[in-house]
């Protein structure tokens, strides 16, 4: 696939809709308001002009720290249009994290929500490169400061409706997508202008069949590349629409959004799938508008898939992607789902599975997944050695342990650093978790390695029980025997700890690092 040499991803995702006659088509819903493509382009132009006025130019980083709202959309496309490099992070972080991101990205301008002003004032004190902060909402900062604090509403209201697009090259830097930070601080995967459009072509359009008739809703928030794609870029690329909400994602809120907007595609994660199934009266909810659901972030247990399908009827297309590749490269497809698997390779990508020596393994054998495709990041910012190890030539080695079956479906076993070596044999935590989830008492679970002090790692399970069950020694023994009866004996959890909830990171994934420290 070839993109023109002079190429700007804002044109590919948003502005092409004006040329194709969709200026009056509604593309964005938020609360009781809605915006057409024409209005969204105009507000994005104003946001781009406002960023330029504050000193952001081509290749300068812009840090977006917003909940899901129209201003996020306008800022994203405005920054892209002027050729700035987009960086975006969770709007619910502590001061020290924002200090890290401001120093790491060297952002010239930050766009933040009014609820963050007090926190961000502290974070910005030592930010050497930050020149201005645009505040979305009414709570602007008025104290004397070397940093210009401006109202997003006021500055965009006075900005011109037209914005001259930067003359960007298809290989210009466009966006940093942050890793989940499972070890140390998150790293920025640096992407070119053409990377996100490439995945949109081969995954969203050709594989999943996203069309202008689709309306999307997402559980993950837009700062997470998974949702940036499925709930903004993919529908806009084909002339579709999205509905946003700024509140925390809960099962009740997602049901409300589905009832109100009747989306055709839902972006979700296994944790929310479980939560929605556990809501009282879930069987009475009408999800008939959904063509399919995306699931990613963590492997989807067969038990959850089957319960969802039986309860709601909507198909879940589980897949795997990464910040390093922008989005999903292996997936189940509408009408082609093998429950428990990650699905098949997206056409436009190549994959291989290797052993510890780098040799490819035969089908059915677990090994480390490596992927090749034209959405791969250039590098990790400020991590040269890690970049060389991860981006080996054209191949991205993601650290996921998988096997592929005879039919070309990939099966997930866990991250390399999560694998347990028990009695000299590698054990995938996901296998034990999937087994435990089949027991009627278990609502959620996570398995990690535990060293009792003798240097011998064994599985330990953290379990959230269903409300109807109480934790006691008898249940613990029952659950251990349950696993022993279904898996090899050495795989059963030697310890079981009952918890009210499992810790999650800002991507909705189980925070295994914190569990290992308990």
Q: Is the pTM of this model over 0.85?
A: yes
From residue 72, how far is each of 57, 148, 188, 362 by CA, in Å?
18, 20, 20, 46
Question: Reduced to 3 states, what is the DSSP secondary structure of residue 440?
Answer: coil
Strand (E) or helix (H) holding 120: helix 117-124
Alpha-carbon span 477 to 214, nearest angstrom:
49
From residue 451, how far is each of 356, 426, 433, 516, 517 by CA, in Å?
24, 15, 19, 10, 11
Q: Are strands 328-331 and 315-321 parallel, antiparallel or unpaired?
A: antiparallel
* Residues 344-403 pLDDT 10s: 999 999 999 999 888 999 999 999 999 999 999 999 999 999 999 899 888 999 888 999
Nearest alpha-carbon partner for 306 in 281, 340, 272, 260 = 340
Phi, psi at residue 338, to the nearest 5°? -110, 100
Q: Are strands 132-136 and 109-113 parallel, antiparallel or unpaired?
A: parallel
CATH 3.40.50.980 positions along the chain are: 9-21+34-191
- Long-range pairs of 187-190 with CB within 8 A, sequence gap ≥ 24: 187/380, 187/381, 187/382, 187/383, 187/386, 188/87, 188/104, 188/105, 188/380, 188/381, 189/323, 189/324, 189/377, 189/379, 189/380, 190/377, 190/378, 190/379, 190/380, 190/381
Per-residue pLDDT of the chain (518 residues; tens, 9 = 90+): 899 999 999 999 999 999 999 999 999 999 999 999 999 999 999 999 999 999 999 999 999 999 999 999 999 999 999 999 999 999 999 999 999 999 999 999 999 999 999 999 999 988 999 999 999 998 677 766 789 999 999 999 999 999 999 999 999 999 999 987 555 688 999 999 999 999 999 999 999 999 999 999 999 999 999 999 999 999 999 999 999 999 999 999 999 999 999 999 999 998 899 899 999 999 999 999 999 999 998 888 898 999 999 999 999 999 999 999 999 999 999 999 999 999 999 999 999 999 988 899 999 999 999 999 999 999 999 999 999 989 988 899 988 899 999 999 999 988 777 778 776 667 888 889 989 999 999 999 999 998 887 777 889 999 999 988 899 999 999 999 999 999 888 899 999 999 999 998 777 778 888 888 88
Alpha-carbon span 210 to 327, nearest angstrom:
15
CATH 3.40.50.12780 positions along the chain are: 194-415
From residue 157, how far is each of 24, 31, 311 by CA, in Å?
21, 21, 47
Q: Provide, rounded to the nearest whole percent, the portion of the chain with pLDDT above 90.
A: 80
Question: Reduced to 3 states, what is the DSSP secondary structure of residue 461?
Answer: strand
Cα-Cα-Cα-Cα dihedral sign, residues 32, 37, 39, 44: positive
Q: Which CATH superfamily is domain 194-415 in?
A: ANL, N-terminal domain (3.40.50.12780)
CA angle 389, 394, 398 (to 5 degrees): 50
Q: What is the DSSP letter of 237?
A: H
Alpha-carbon span 21 to 77, nearest angstrom:
19
Nearest alpha-carbon partner for 146 in 175, 121, 166 = 121
Alpha-carbon span 170 to 17, nearest angstrom:
20
Q: CA neighbours within 13 Å on the CB side: how many for 28? A: 22
CATH 3.30.300.30 positions along the chain are: 419-516
Answer for the pair 431, 419: CB distance below 8 angstroms, yes or no: no
Alpha-carbon span 123 to 310, nearest angstrom:
48
Nearest alpha-carbon partner for 197 in 228, 242, 165 = 228
Tokens 């994934």, residue? 509
Find residue 460's DSSP bridge partners: 448, 495
Q: Which CATH superfamily is domain 419-516 in?
A: ANL, C-terminal domain (3.30.300.30)
Domain 9-21+34-191 has CATH 3.40.50.980: yes
Q: What is the DSSP letter of 106?
A: T
Alpha-carbon span 78 to 72, nearest angstrom:
10
């Amino acid at each position: 696939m070839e993109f023109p040499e002079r190429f700007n991803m804002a044109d590919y995702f948003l502005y092409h809709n004006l040329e194709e006659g969709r200026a009056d088509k509604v593309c964005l819903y938020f609360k009781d308001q809605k915006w057409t493509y024409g209005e969204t382009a105009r507000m994005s132009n104003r946001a781009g002009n406002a960023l330029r006025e504050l000193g952001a130019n081509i290749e300068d980083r812009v840090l977006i720290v917003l909940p899901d709202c129209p201003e996020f959309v306008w800022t994203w496309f405005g920054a892209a249009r002027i050729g700035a490099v987009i960086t975006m992070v969770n709007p619910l972080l502590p001061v020290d994290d924002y200090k890290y991101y401001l120093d790491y990205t060297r952002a010239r301008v930050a766009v933040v929500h009014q609820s963050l002003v007090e926190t961000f004032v502290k974070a910005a004190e030592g930010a050497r490169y930050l020149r201005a902060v645009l505040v979305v909402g009414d709570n602007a900062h008025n104290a004397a400061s070397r940093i210009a604090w401006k109202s997003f509403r006021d500055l965009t209201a006075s900005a011109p409706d037209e914005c001259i697009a930067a003359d960007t090259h298809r290989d210009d830097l466009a966006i940093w997508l942050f890793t989940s930070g499972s070890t140390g601080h998150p790293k920025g995967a640096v992407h070119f202008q053409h990377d996100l459009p490439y995945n949109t072509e081969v995954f969203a359009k050709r594989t999943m069949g996203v069309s202008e008739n689709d309306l999307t809703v997402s559980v993950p928030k837009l700062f997470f590349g998974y949702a940036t794609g499925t709930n903004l870029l993919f529908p806009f690329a084909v002339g579709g629409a999205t509905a946003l909400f700024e509140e925390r994602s809960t099962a009740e809120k997602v049901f409300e959004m589905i009832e109100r907007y009747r989306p055709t595609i839902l972006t979700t994660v296994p944790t929310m799938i479980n939560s929605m199934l556990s809501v009282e009266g879930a069987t009475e909810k009408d999800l008939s508008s959904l063509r399919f659901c995306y699931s990613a972030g963590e492997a989807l247990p067969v038990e959850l898939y089957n319960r969802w399908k039986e309860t709601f009827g909507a198909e879940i297309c589980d897949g795997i992607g990464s910040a390093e590749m922008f989005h999903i490269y292996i997936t189940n497809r509408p009408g082609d789902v093998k429950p428990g698997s990650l699905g098949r390779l997206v056409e436009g990508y190549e994959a291989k599975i290797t052993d510890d020596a780098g040799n490819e393994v035969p089908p059915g054998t677990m090994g480390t997944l490596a992927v090749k495709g034209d959405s791969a990041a250039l590098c990790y910012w400020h991590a040269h050695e890690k970049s060389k190890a991860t981006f080996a030539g054209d191949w991205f080695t993601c650290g996921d342990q998988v096997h592929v079956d005879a039919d070309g479906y990939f099966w997930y076993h866990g991250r390399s650093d999560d694998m347990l070596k028990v009695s000299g044999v590698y054990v995938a935590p996901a296998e034990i978790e999937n087994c435990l989830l089949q027991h009627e008492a278990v609502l959620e679970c996570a398995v990690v390695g535990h060293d009792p002090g003798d240097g011998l790692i064994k599985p330990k399970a953290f379990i959230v029980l269903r409300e109807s069950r109480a934790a006691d020694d008898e249940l613990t023994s029952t659950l251990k025997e349950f696993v022993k009866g279904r898996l090899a004996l050495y795989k059963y959890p030697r310890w079981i700890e009952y918890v009210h909830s499992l810790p999650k990171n800002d991507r909705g994934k189980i925070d295994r690092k914190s569990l290992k420290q308990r």
